Amino acid sequence: MFEDLERLYQAASAALAESKDSAALEAWESAYLGRKGAVTLALRAVGNLPKADRAAYGKRANEIRDALEQAYAQQAELVRAHELARQLESGAIDVTLPGLRPLQGGIHPATRTLREIAEIWREMGFQIFRTREVEDDQTNFELLNIPEHHPARDMWDTFHTTRPGVILRTHTSPGQIHAMRRYAPKPIRVILPGMCFRYEQISARKEIQFNQVEGLAIGENIRLSDLKGTITAFARRMFGADRRVRFRGSYFPFTEPSMEVDVECILCGGKGCSVCSGTGWLEIAGCGMVHPTVLRNGGYDPSRFSGFAFGMGPERITMLKYGITDIRYFWANDVRFLNQF
C-alpha cells in the first residue's frame, strides 16, 4: 500500500520529466492531479484503509501531491519558455513575402443614407446645422411646447442623466430651437441630422439609439402646400418617381397642423406584408407647420413668420430601400450585415 504510493510518485515524476509540450503536460495533469487523476484517487482511498494506517498514509499522499504540484509548475514554466522561443524562431520575418492586405472598411449603411438625404435637401437649398446630443429638458421639451407633466411626454421615453434636467435628446427637434435662436429673424432652411436616444422596448422597428434628420424652413408666406411639395419631391428622389406618398393627419405638440408621411411599401408594392404590418405603407417621418409658440420661443414673430418642420428616420428609410427586415442589424456590429453595403 505504501509501496504503491511510492511507485505512483516515481511513475508520475518520470512521466512529468517526459512531458515536453503543452499537450503532454495537460494530459499528465489530468492523469495524475486532475479530478480523476491517480494521485487524487489515491488520496480519496484513505477512507478505505485500516484506521491505524490512515494518518501516515494520508500524510505521505499529501506530501506527494504537493511535491508533484510544485514539480508540475516548474515543468510548465520550462515548457512555456521553450515553446515561446520556438515560436519566435519559426516566426522570423520573411521580407520577401507579399504584405498583408489591410481590411478595407466601408461607409455604414445609416451614414450612407444620411449622406443621400443631405444631398437631396442640399439641392433644395437646405444647409446642415449640427446640434448637441446631450440636451436639457427645456430645449428637448418645454420650448417645443411640451410642458412638464404634459401627457405628450409619453411619446418620448427618455434617458435621464444624473444631472437634473440634463437628458439624452429623444429627437432632433430641439435643434429647431438652436437654429432659430441662431438665425432669428432671418429666414431659415436647414436640416439637422444626428443621433437620438429613447428608452424604448427594442424591436424589429425600434432601437434605443437611432438617427433622425430634422428639417426646418422658416420665412414669410411658408404654407402647408410648401411642406407637402418639398417632402413629396424628397420622397420621389429617394424612393423613385413612381413610389406613392401619403400624408396622414397626426399630432405633435410643436407643429399645428401635424402629419405623418408614409411611403408605399417597397417590399410588397403596397399589397401588405409583414414589414408594413399588412397596411401597404411605411411611415418615414413626422412633420407639420411650426407651432406659433415654438416660433415665438425661437425668436420669430408668428404674425409675420411661418414655417414647416419634419423629422425623418434614416434607418427606417434604409430598411425600406434595401428590404432590411430588422433595425437591430444597424448597431449590432455584425460584419456579415455591414459587408453587404
| Binds ligand FA5 by CB under 6 A, chosen from 140, 198, 222, 324 | 198
Q: Does 175 bind ligand FA5 (CB under 6 A)?
A: no
Binding part of the chain for ligand FA5, among 121-129, 205-213, 220-228, 241-249 by CB under 6 A, reads 205-213
What DSSP element (H or E) covers 108?
A: none
Distance, CA of 300 to CA of 155 (rounded, Å): 27
Binding status of residue 287 toward ligand FA5 by CB under 6 A:
yes
Smallest gap from residue 235 Cβ to ligand FA5 (A): 13
SS3 label, residue 209: strand
Residues forming beta bridges with residue 311, ordered by sequence position: 214, 286
Check binding of 285 to ligand FA5 (CB under 6 A): yes
Residues 263, 240: Cα–Cα separation, whole Å: 11
> Quick one: cell of 43?
488520496
Cα dist from 257 to 210, 224, 291, whole Å? 26, 9, 8
What is the C-alpha separation between 62 and 37, in angstroms, rounded? 14
> What is the CB neighbour count within 10 angstroms for residue 14?
9
Minimum distance, C-beta of residue 184 to ligand FA5, in the bound complex (Å): 18
Contact between 109 and ligand FA5 per CB under 6 A: no
Q: Could you tell me which stretch among 102-110, 135-143, 210-218, 220-228 binds ligand FA5 (CB under 6 A)?
A: 210-218
Choice between 238 and 284, CB closer to ligand FA5: 284
Nearer to ligand FA5, 205 or 237 (CB): 205
* Distance in angstroms (rounded) separating the CA atoms of residues 265 and 282: 6
**CB-nearer residue toward ligand FA5: 65 or 171:** 171
Residue ranges for the known binding site for Mg(2+) are 256
Site size for ligand FA5, by CB under 6 A?
26
SS3 of residue 318 by DSSP? helix
Q: Which is nearer to ligand FA5, 75 or 258 (CB)?
A: 258
Amino acid at 227: L
Q: Which of 37, 129, 137, 171 binds ligand FA5 (CB under 6 A)?
A: 171
Q: Among 243, 186, 193, 247, which residue's Cα sits nearest to residue 219?
A: 186
If one asks whether residue 262 binds ligand FA5 (CB under 6 A), the answer comes out as no
Cα separation of 62 and 73, whole Å?
Answer: 17
Residue nearest to ligand FA5 (CB): 313
Q: Binding to ligand FA5 by residue 255, rule CB under 6 A? A: yes
In the complex with ligand FA5, which residue's Cβ is closer, 194 or 288?
288
Please tell me whether residue 135 binds ligand FA5 under the rule CB under 6 A.
no
Q: How many CB atoms lie within 10 A of CB 213?
A: 23
212 binds ligand FA5 (CB under 6 A): yes
Q: Which stretch binds ligand FA5 (CB under 6 A): 67-75, 220-228, 229-237, 283-291?
A: 283-291
Does 206 help bind ligand FA5 (rule: CB under 6 A)? yes
187-203 residues labelled b (16+ CB within 10 A) or e (exposed) = ebbbbbbbebbbeeeee
Dist CA 128 CA 317 (whole Å): 19
Query: Is 319 near ligand FA5 (CB under 6 A)?
Result: no
- Min dist CB 93 to ligand FA5, Å, is 49
Among 57, 72, 141, 210, binds ligand FA5 (CB under 6 A): 210
Q: How far apart are CA 26 and CA 31, in angstroms?
A: 9
Minimum CB distance to ligand FA5 smaller for 39 or for 287? 287
Rg, Å, the chain Cα set: 35
What is the amino acid identity at position 190? V
Q: Which residues bind ligand FA5 (CB under 6 A)?
A: 171, 173, 198, 200, 206-207, 210, 212, 214, 252, 255, 258, 283-288, 309-313, 315-316, 327
